[in-house]
């Protein structure tokens, strides 16, 4: 193998910031959507629900956990237009990432809520808290602290999974790399560079996760 030569990539360096911006936009927006979905679905599934509601929530979780993300992305972007639902590729990617990751994170939220001591509910009832107030002010803060590591892992996964969006007509990091490869024929250099960028993004998140865990640990007695 010839020695690595990154110089042919330099003319395309100006395209990198925009591709990185799109990658982060999809990753961050997808994670925020996943977080909302996880809290709502996880909280509801930790309670006794009517059979119809429980079935629908379980169906959502199992479908998105049991099918490939790529298939889900194709269904949202290419399949839904046949039903009259059209959206931009970035929005389709955000929606798919949010729904997919939300199904996984909702199980973490549910497990975290169920791990909260039952005495917390009894104490809240004695203090006159309503069930909604108990969840918002007492149960969820404790559950979220327990779920922080899994949330940050989910965020890292979403950032890496944005590479799958390269199959859509949107130029994020991986799509840009593929296009540059088609013009320069330097695959090793391109994909090494992409790997370094994705690694730096996810490695930063590990430090963020540790900082959040330290902050949240102040709640512990």
Domains of the chain plus CATH, in order, are 8-217 (1.10.3720.10)
Sign of CA dihedral 181, 186, 187, 188: negative
Instruction: Name the pTM for this structure.
Output: 0.88
The DSSP letter of residue 4 is P
Q: Write out pLDDT tens, residues 151-184.
A: 888 888 999 999 999 999 999 999 999 999 999 9
Spatial separation of the C-alpha atoms in residues 212 and 41, rounded to whole Å: 23
Spatial separation of the C-alpha atoms in residues 151 and 149, rounded to whole Å: 5
pLDDT at residue 126, as a whole number: 84
Q: Read off the tokens for 131.
A: 């069930």
Residue 170: its H or E element: none
Spatial separation of the C-alpha atoms in residues 221 and 5, rounded to whole Å: 56
**Is 4 exposed, middle or buried (CB count within 10 Å of its CB: 0-12, 13-18, 19+)?**
exposed
pLDDT in tens, the chain (221 residues): 567 888 889 999 999 999 999 999 999 999 999 999 999 999 999 888 899 999 999 999 999 999 999 999 999 999 999 999 999 999 999 999 999 999 999 999 998 888 888 877 778 888 888 877 888 888 888 888 878 888 888 888 999 999 999 999 999 999 999 999 999 988 999 999 999 999 998 888 888 777 777 776 655 54
Q: Do the beta carbons of residue 156 and residue 202 sit within 8 Å?
A: yes
């Amino acid at each position: 193998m010839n020695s690595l030569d990154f110089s042919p990539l330099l003319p395309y360096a100006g395209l990198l910031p925009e591709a990185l911006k799109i990658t982060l936009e999809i990753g961050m927006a997808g994670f925020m959507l996943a977080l909302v979905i996880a809290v709502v679905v996880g909280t509801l599934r930790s309670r006794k629900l009517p059979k119809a509601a429980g079935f629908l929530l379980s169906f959502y979780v199992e479908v998105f956990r049991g099918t490939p993300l790529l298939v889900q992305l194709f269904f949202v972007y290419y399949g839904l237009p046949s039903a009259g639902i059209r959206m931009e590729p970035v929005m389709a990617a955000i929606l798919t990432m949010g729904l997919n990751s939300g199904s996984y994170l909702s199980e973490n939220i549910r497990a975290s809520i169920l791990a909260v001591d039952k005495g917390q509910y009894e104490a809240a009832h004695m203090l006159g808290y309503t069930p909604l107030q108990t969840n918002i002010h007492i149960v969820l803060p404790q559950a979220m602290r327990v779920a922080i590591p899994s949330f940050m892992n989910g965020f890292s996964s979403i950032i890496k999974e944005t590479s799958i969006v390269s199959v859509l007509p949107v130029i994020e990091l991986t799509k840009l790399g593929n296009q540059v490869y088609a013009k320069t024929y330097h695959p090793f250099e391109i994909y090494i560079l992409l790997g370094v960028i994705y690694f730096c993004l996810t490695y930063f998140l590990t430090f963020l996760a540790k900082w959040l865990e330290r902050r949240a640990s102040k709640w512990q007695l």
